[in-house]
Amino acid sequence: MLMIDDGIRQISVKGLLLLTLAAGDRFLEDKRQTIETLRGVCQHDEERIHNKTMFETVKIIQGVADSRESGSKIIATQ
């Protein structure tokens, strides 16, 4: 087994590899959680944008309907 002597303590290459793999696993898990969080944020934003778009569309349709209705009333009264 290879040993690395840092002057204070000795760490085996195998132990160093295991520490590196464990850190990598934690990093990947954190990355997965970050990705899931970002997906949730994006989905929330998409829903918010969709709802706002639908609200604005309804307002426009109501405005067009109101203007047509008031236009027909003006013609009918003349």
- Please tell me the predicted confidence (pLDDT) of residue 58: 92
Q: Is the confidence at residue 63, as pLDDT, over 90?
A: no
Residue 5, SS3? strand
The continuous run of DSSP H or E covering 10 comes out as: strand 10-12
Q: Which parts of 1-78 fold into alpha helices (H)?
A: 13-77
Residue range of the domain that includes 35: 3-77
Whole-angstrom Cα distance, residue 30 to residue 37?
10
Does the structure show a pLDDT above 80 at 44? yes
Most confident region among 4-13, 19-28, 47-56, 61-70 by mean pLDDT: 47-56
Confidence band, pLDDT 50/70/90 cuts, at residue 1: very low
Q: Domain tally for the chain?
A: 1
